[in-house]
Structure 1
Amino acid sequence: MDEKISLEAIALYGDMYADAVLKGFFASRDKITGPDILKLCNVHQVNLFVIRELLRSWKDEAKKLKSPYFDYEHPDVREALDNFMGTLSQQISIDRQHFAPLLKKASSQALMAIFDPYDFYVMILTGKNNKLEVASFRDEIKYMKVNKAPLDRMLLRMEQRNMTELAGNEAFAVLDEILEEVNFTPEDVDDYIEQFSAVVPLDPASFYVSTAPVVPPVRQAPPPPPPAEVRRPTPPPPPVSTPPVSTPPVSQAPPQPKQHNTMRPPAPTGAAASLNEKHSRESRSSLGNNLHKISRIKDSLTINQKFMFTKVLFHGDFELFSKAIDRLDQLDTIQSALRYIEEEHASTWDRDSEEFHEFMELVEKRFI
């Protein structure tokens, strides 16, 4: 993978788009209402994500209603509060200062859902404390219209199994299964590019950054210095003639060749040789100083890494990925880890890919 999405570029364009919409709407108004929000932007997904943010705020405020003197959990009180909050939700009135951050966040998240749905799924599945609550998940996707099909199927599966919450790892595995079942392909983006560009010109290429390694320029050797002027030496005076002195011959041993230290570490042999030579020689020298040892690879993986490694390196097989990580965490040396990867998995891996190098970097951190 030579390119990846840039969250900074997404946020930058989202802010520009939101600023243009804000300028147009608040040029003649001081407040925005609920009905105004639903028809504010030409990209309907942005409007829905603003409503979703307001729903979150609405629920957070309701949770603050606690008291040591009154029973807010009593059914009659709960019913009255629900009616009150329902009425309040129909009375949305927000000035520009408080509405701007809501619109900017909604714009960026809509761009993520459209142009980078996989990373957007990861953000949703992470939830709070690495747990996905079914009730909140249902509310999250209620306001999602773009690339929604896998999440709808995931919610249905959790409801059929009577789940109330799901650990992040398990949620990731369920989504991975679903993506394989439906052979999911993200929606075409051309219509969305046109809609965004009607407000602020949009070039999707600006959302991606290259991950290819930067090759330093080859330094040219300096030209050799000009030859110095050659001066002929003055010939020495002729030697003084003396009678020869007879001396016995001295027996000399033949000259011995100069000894050099030829001890080198043994070259790697067997199946692990190619990984040792390619990865260790090229990567360890540049990464070694920046690595921090980890006790277990499994505990250090983010949801995004699990998703990425499973899809790219383990062909969508989350169980195979999990078994490989467990095995690597049981091994004692980097040599045995490289041998295991080479023999069991790496024959089909693209060893120039970003995923390969990130995976191998985690393996190094386990053994340094």
Structure 2
Amino acid sequence: MPKQHRLHHAYATHYSAEFAGKVCREFFEAKETICGSEIVELSPCKQLNLMIIKSLFESWQEQLEQLSGVPFFDYTDEAVQAALQEFMNSLSQAIKIRRADFEPLLAHSVEKTLQLAVEPKLFMEREIAALMQKSPPDFSSLRKYIKWHADAWRPVVDLLSDSPESTSWKELLYQGFAHPENLLSVGDLLAPLHETLRINLDELMLRPEIQDADSSAGSAVRSVPEKPGEEQASSGRGAEEEADPSDAFIDPALAWARFESEEHAYMKGSIGHLREGMGINQRIMFTKRLFQGNQDLLDQALEELDRTESFFDAVSLLNASFVGTLKWDVQSDEVQELLQLIFRKFDGD
């Protein structure tokens, strides 16, 4: 399958916050709350408006699941189910959200919309996999609220609706997205958002050709090659002058060799998923010091790392998507602890 663009997460997060702030300043200047019918018409980007409603729907479902977890009542009773459905229908007609609650919801929905535009296959794979964890899986929200690239992913939903146990759905999904040139372009999809707040597509998308990190032998941290025209200027840099940490990347070969050494033998022990091997203090530290306080960004990074096939692929992903864009100091304790977790995941493969 041809390589596709990857989302520049830091830029997407920043843009989403700026977009939400701009829209909310204008909308709530004369109103205290926003209702459902106003959300549907909020933006010229219809997919974004549907993504907001989808987020609300998912929030209702989570609250209902929490309510159903109370052990004193039978929530499977037909009368109770009917009453709950009527209650949810009534709620859907009585949406009223204040700016303080709506702005983060809007920012989250914008970011989801950007992900769908730039990484449609990965986005849909996550959505479908999450629904598959439910019993029974209900794909109605995808059909209702996701309209972009429907021809590519709807055959998968149709297959799973009829055969929930099918193991071939990912292959079918990959086939649907096998020809990116047949999909609507990112620029065309995001043009309505651009009307509200300018999007720099060159910053939003990481080009496929820069995703392969150099893993040749050398120092554990290598300087990124100079841009054209900068070689002569940088050649005069004194040997004692330290490079900017943001101009460095992780050498996966040396990192692996170091963690393989006896000095780090105590760290060995495979883990199935990175989240499983991460302590609560580590999670807080990674969120605060590596992912700009954005827990969703950390979770997304962990999901992407878990999908890589080797330690080298995982480090390449870090270099391409996070090291430079989030200005990591690759020698820091936080980065080294994250690398240790990744090593434990792939050690023994």
Deviation, structure 1 residue 354:
4.8
Aligned residue identity for 1:25:
F
Which of 191, 205, 208 is the equivalent residue of 1:194? Answer: 191
Q: Structure 1 residues 295 and 177, CA, compared in 2 at 3 Å: closer, same or farther? A: farther
Residue matched to 1:328: none
Q: How does 1:28-47 map to 2 (within 5 A)?
A: 28-47=30-49
Deviations 1:269-324 (A, max 9, x none): xxxxxxxxxxxxx8633542356876669x46986468666xxxxxxxxxxxxxxx
Aligned mates of 2:145, 2:173 — CA distance in 1: 21
Pair 1:215-2:218 in alignment = no
Contact 1:14–1:108 under 8 Å retained in 2: yes
Residue matched to 1:157: 159
Deviation, structure 1 residue 118:
2.5
Question: What is the TM-score with the length of structure 2 in the denominator?
Answer: 0.60
Q: Structure 1 residues 307 and 148, CA, compared in 2 at 3 Å: closer, same or farther? A: farther
Aligned mates of 2:189, 2:306 — CA distance in 1: 29
Q: Structure 1 residues 201 and 290, CA, compared in 2 at 3 Å: closer, same or farther? A: farther
Of 208-217 and 135-144, more deviation after overlay is shown by 208-217
Deviation, structure 1 residue 133:
5.3
Q: Structure 1 residues 288 and 105, CA, compared in 2 at 3 Å: closer, same or farther? A: same
Aligned mates of 1:15, 1:78 — CA distance in 2: 38
Residue matched to 1:366: 347
Deviation, structure 1 residue 26:
0.7
User: Structure 2, unaligned stretches of length 5 or more?
Assistant: 215-223, 239-250, 275-301, 321-341
Which of 161, 167, 171 is the equivalent residue of 1:176? Answer: 171
Deviation, structure 1 residue 55:
0.8
Which of 92, 115, 133 is the equivalent residue of 1:131? Answer: 133
- Which has the larger Rg? 1
Q: How does 1:39-78 map to 2 (within 5 A)?
A: 39-66=41-68, 70-78=73-81
Deviation, structure 1 residue 137:
3.8
Aligned residue identity for 1:99:
F
Q: How does 1:1-368 map to 2 (within 5 A)?
A: 4-66=6-68, 70-127=73-130, 131=133, 135-161=137-163, 163=164, 170=167, 173-180=168-175, 183-185=178-180, 186-209=183-206, 210-211=210-211, 212-213=213-214, 214-215=224-225, 284-285=253-254, 287-289=256-258, 299=272, 304=304, 354=316, 365-366=346-347
Q: Structure 1 residues 221 and 25, CA, compared in 2 at 3 Å: closer, same or farther? A: closer
What SS does structure 2 have at the residue aligned with 1:195? helix
Of 18-27 and 63-72, more deviation after overlay is shown by 63-72
Deviation, structure 1 residue 109:
0.3
Aligned mates of 1:106, 1:116 — CA distance in 2: 15
**Count of residue correspondences:** 256
Of 86-95 and 151-160, more deviation after overlay is shown by 151-160
Aligned mates of 1:19, 1:61 — CA distance in 2: 27
Deviations 1:64-122 (A, max 9, x none): 43556544332122212211221121111111111111111111001110122123124
Aligned mates of 1:364, 1:306 — CA distance in 2: 9
Q: Structure 1 residues 75 and 9, CA, compared in 2 at 3 Å: closer, same or farther? A: same
Deviations 1:167-188 (A, max 9, x none): xxx4xx5222343267443322
- How high is the sequence identity, in percent, across the aligned residues? 20
Aligned mates of 2:204, 2:225 — CA distance in 1: 23
Deviations 1:130-181 (A, max 9, x none): 83655344324431011233331111111222x2x67xxx4xx522234326
Deviation, structure 1 residue 191:
2.6
Q: Structure 1 residues 306 and 60, CA, compared in 2 at 3 Å: closer, same or farther? A: closer
Contact 1:122–1:303 under 8 Å retained in 2: no
Aligned residue identity for 1:143:
Y
